[in-house]
Structure 1
Amino acid sequence: QTYDPRIYAVGECVAHRGISYGLVAPLFEMAKVCATHLANFGIGIYKGSVTSTKLKVTGIDLFSAGDFTGDSDTEEIVLHDAVGGIYKKLVIKNDKIIGGVLYGDTTDGSWYFQMLRDGKAIHEIRDHLMFGQDSLGNTGHQGQNKAAAMNNEMEVCGCNGVCKGTIVKAIQDQGLFTIDDVKKQTKAGSSCGSCVGLVEQILASTLGGGYAPPSTSKAICGCSDKNHEEVRAEIRAHKYLNIPDAMKGMAWRTPNGCATCRPALNYYLLSSWPHEAVDDPQSRFINERVHANIQKDGTFSVIPRMYGGVTTPDQLRKIADVADKYAVPMVKVTGGQRIDLLGVKKEDLMGMWKDLDMPSGYAYAKGIRTVKTCVGSEFCRFGTQNSTQMGIDIEKAFDHMWAPHKVKFAVSGCPRNCAESGIKDVGIIGVDSGWEIYVGGNGGIKTEAAQFLCKVKGHDEVLEYSGAFIQIYREEARYLDRTVHWIERVGLEYVKQRILEDSEGRKAAYERLLFALQGAVDPWAERVNNRDKHKEFETISV
């Protein structure tokens, strides 16, 4: 209730007594009090929340709770293992935990948070406190033992404020058997997903022998029992070169397949047998069929290629002239350092491509999108490497490349990372002695930090190592998998083994990528110069 008794405020951004929590769990506590008032069901008072949060970035384990800074009236217990990458700090006041920070090992975060909320005295376990719940005689952190060691009040899902007891009760009372069931009924694991593993452990420990882990071998779609890996293996073993032969040879249930399997089959054929397999345009999504991004009103966006984000006055004049000629509603600079012409009619696409006379930026494609760069050592006083030229060389070398999903590169000229290399599928950062390569980043719905792959010295090595990584991803990832999802499934160690430890395999993978890209033509120019392809872009008046 605000200063005006007629107005209530509930939300992550609400300032309660000078504190804006910015988290979901306090929102639910506020909502309970608000609902009680609105329903005239007794009197509830919101006195503030004791919060904890965990950073949701892959590769960075960070947990904080309560007052983790302390003051002159508090004491700190700190464990710092620099080599192991572990830091733990607990803030103590009056023999009780009032806050803490965990980095590198956040396994005991919920245990510390429970003691913080309960105001439990620590003097009896002080000597073992920093070594976690295990040190008190409980069993390991992995498997069902971790879930079994938790009491019902301990929080499992920090995003939605769900404790173990709520999950157990829902499983028992409502007969839940799958993680998806638990998500729907309790919201646990339905937001960032970082607690899904613990939810599964609780599910397994509650059901005992009645729990069946989810199958990792999911069929490609309802048209076949084969999973993605099996389909790909069959295509290679029998050298299927077109969709009808592949479906017939693999005994597809539905003769013509469906919207799920046809694009995947088309990609697997093309990536397995480059220059031999037959591309089926009708098995591509609309954006790839017309080589432009369809918008919500049925118009399209056109983004020409600007290698490394570098353009010229002549290109800018062409873009301006085209925008005027075709009455483009919006001209916008994209996050990938290019210019987007939005609101283009389908019948104007062919003429616009001809007038632009610039290559397609593939902004619509399951393939290489852009290579973002900073100005690097050419102009920046902090730059250690020529990142702009490196980005241009990469984009030209891998241009026209199709992939299981969109692929984004970035090249930064120094560790200041102005090109945001840390959240790209392949991020390259210049340092004094060469280049660092990071892989598996994603700036999408759930931001994923790229993971360090290796450090190389020169230009050619950057192309070879990053190209080999992309080619192995192209050959092994499931269709519509981003690089981060593929790495999560196979493991970064597997990727390192293929790229770093097997030098011959790395060079061979890079050569396969270059072979697949030989003879590639720009799709815009191809359609402009081929009158047979113009009909697709004509609008029929009725």
Structure 2
Amino acid sequence: MAEPLVIVGKGMAATRLVDELSQRALGRYAIAVIGAEPRLAYNRVLLSPLLAGEIGEPEIELKPAAWWQARGVSMLYGRPVTGIDRAAKSVTLADGLTLPYGKLVLATGSKPLMPPVPGFDLPGVATFRDVADVALFRTIAVTGARVVVIGGGLLGLEAAYGLARIGARVTVLHLADRLMERQLDREGAGLLAAEITARGIDIRLNCTAARFVGTERVETVELTDGSAIPADLVVVAIGVRPRVDLAVAAGLDVNRGVDVDDGLASSDPSIFAIGECAEHRGLVYGLVEPAYEQARVLATRLAGGTARYTGSLLATNLKVSGVSVFSAGSVEPSEGDEVLLLRDLAMGIYRKFVLRDGQLAGCVLVGDTTGALFYLGLIRSQQEISPIRADLPFGEAYCVRKAA
């Protein structure tokens, strides 16, 4: 008889886990996937092009209903889990349904942070996290609408781009002195800012919102320097926090995320966590690829194999507001490191490579991300690159020819 496996969360991590598990142990588990959103799992990375009207809702769906059915998965959506009974090994849903589990996987993701400033609960102040947010933005951000985006990280810039594409007048406010400060160095961030500004988006750095002002809905964003910006819509994208309420209530070990070991198991050996809600060796990853790596390891273990998750190399490879950006490894040099640069500012291209002990330690590519996966492979393998050092900035084709 198949062992009951319950997955709480219906996002990209959960979908990848089912995919990986079905390839290794189809039929071993009776799988139930539970999600709060009333729809099939979808790709959150594509919310910005969805908002911009570049793609439609069917194109963001991860897997069709028939795919889940073919794998014998029970899908329960629009019905959030409200509690975990570890003694009885069961979960309770909001509608009162109780499901037993032999093994339980938490893939609950994260929730957006809101700034601790007055007025954050006014209508018209929103976050950018799901399809419902896209629908809301489209009703407000008609042509000429004034939109303020709080946050110049990846999500904030993606929201700004989508809103600008549908005709809104967008201002981005960012606390730091450069955009995407976690992924980009100062020069790369400066080039990105210039490219985004050229697309009609106003960027203000070193800015902090003091309060959101309005009567029936938000009308103005007041800054700590005393200035004010009119706003028909405010989009807050200042970060996320792991969704750990269920884990905390169940008495699991939780730090910032659900504490897991190299097998992705929590402090309860029957309960696992992957994706944005999991904390491994003190780190919580907010990107898709680490969640996929965790799903592969957990699927292998659930199928009876041996695998260990030892952490992920952080890498970003996508279009940010229409500008190609790649970042991986150490983007700022340490003492003794060597830096190779290739610049073509007229073409909007910037390529930086940090070399350490004869190996590629990190790189930043803005405007032209050709060879990104090749560079990522070099960083991960830690291979000696001295023979191809001079050709490194020009891409894989030059380096392979030189090595040959």
TM-score by length of 1: 0.24
Q: Which has the larger share of strand?
A: 2
Which one has a bigger Cα radius of gyration? 1
Q: Which has the higher contact order (CA 8 A, sep 6+)?
A: 2
Q: Which has the larger share of helix?
A: 1
